[in-house]
Structure 1
Amino acid sequence: MSRTPVRSARQRDAWAFMGPGVAVVVVALYIPVLYTVYLSFTEYDGLGDPTWIGLDNYVEMFQDPAIALSILNTLAWVLGTLLVPVGLGLLVAYLAYGLPGAAWLRVPFLIPYALSGVAVGVIFSFVLQNGGALSQALAFLNLPGSELRWLQDAPLNTIVMILAASWQGVGVNALLFTVGLQSIPKEPLEAAKVDGAGGFRLFASMVWPLLRPTTTIVVGLSIVNSLKTFDIVQSMTQGGPNRVSETLGVTMYRETFLNNEYGMGSAVAIFLTVITVAASVIYLRRQLSLGDAAPKIDAAPKTKGARRA
């Protein structure tokens, strides 16, 4: 008996289940992306029909000093969010790991993550604006810095916004690193302690290499989120003054919805998408290759066997 009718029936059933989901993905994701790619090669103000202009939007984008500064600010966000929230999240997770009531110690760091980026921006705008809470506190305590224009002067405004985003992101990074620490086998760590390893040496030689899978996830998410930074910058400075604190996300918003330059906005969106995907792929491929080359640590069974022997 031929199996072809059975396979055909299974394929029809599979498409019957998959068809609606595939249709939704195509309509909601792929068609808008393809239309954005098309708009990036046109001049379009939202009225009438788009006019095909080829690569002019991309040429103009790379010649615009404001967009060049936006790219530099976006790279600064990537570097800043890798150093501060990821580093502090790892420090909090490692110092609290194993302590009594460690879960409660992490709660204050997790609360800011429940806030939206806009809410964080509003809070820090109140604190950092001219004559705001921070300037008043520094002046009251006769400390230097009360005269600084935290949100007006570059690159100070970008730095304080990165710190604001770090305040929000430390908690979730600490939580992810805590999960990674809990997944590390205890036997290799106990053996290292018996051999005299402790403190920073134990962390650098044993804990950090065993945290590689978790670190890959945390750093990968941080890179993608920092490249797409928009809400905190838009709520705190709107990219100003004079566009000196813009990121690519804010530039895309400005060109599309404020200047009604849908072609240029689409070009910035495609450029941002390309560098985000490229950075993610390059980083993940590098990490996976390093993971394959790293020495494997045998778990407990051999240790137990050795002890019996």
Structure 2
Amino acid sequence: MTGSQTPRPPLPPLGFGTASLGAEGVAEDLLDTAWSAGMRYFDTAPHYGAGLAERRLGAFLAERPREQFVVSTKVGRLLLPADQADGRVTEGMPDAAGVIRVRDHSRAGIEQSLVDSLDRLGLRRVDVALLHDPDDYLDEAVDSAIPALVDLRSQGLITAIGVGMNQTPGLARLVAETDIDYILVASRYTLLDRVAAESLLPLCARRGVKVVAGAVLNTGLLADPDHALNFDYQPVRPEVRAAARRVREVCSRHGVPLLAAALQFPGRHQQVETTLLGAASSAQLAESMAALETPVPEALWAELDALASELRPALAGGRWR
């Protein structure tokens, strides 16, 4: 059996993904809306707004009892003054304060990443630490980053560890070769794209690794198949848009909004412990919460399951699968 030896409590079935908190101008009451809706699991990362999401989340949680919420953050990127990058791998351009994202999967880098996140969050510990998007650094993940997380878990600084990625082959390797508790699989187990169910989720079941499903609307395509601009961070290909519209047509014939089916789908799998919801406004979050209460008949699930294999070829070819 993989994972920590101390039994860990399960994550709540719903979590709030804080990527939108990294953008300027996000409504200040968004976290209040999430909390009022009963959400107590919050996922964040240094990458979101170069630390802004963590700081905003930390300020909000400072007024709540620690035992009432669960936090996951991510490691693998340090936020450093650009003049201290020292020729290392950087991402993007420096922000207005001159801070740039620096990749660092060394043991020291992982430890520093966690320390910096705790400082921004104003917390003494986080519940889950996830290695963030090590797509091009899988050897480093196996050799140094995840062993560092294992040690931090044994010291009690974090309760559980894992990896978050947008692709299934890399996740499968890390599930098979390392001692993690969770994966956060983004975009690969959705009503439209179910590639994670083919081998990754069965592997997780065998290894005792639980799953957090993120980006379950495929970067907005399952929220609005007609107007969404991107799929997997690239312009939506015509065949992918057509596939999303097919899914919507099936839902419509059963009288169920596409959003309702899309948000409820991941949680049907026994290996998925949590579905992350994202929102850029309180109104958008309220719409999602209402969609989660919409009844979905078994006949619709059966028809969508039958359609999935037919649509699979339309989704092939992207880097992130």
Bin for the TM-score computed over the shorter chain: under 0.3
**Greater RCO, 1 or 2 (C-alpha within 8 Å, sep 6+):** 1
Q: Which structure has the larger Rg? A: 1
More strand by share: 2
More helix by share: 1
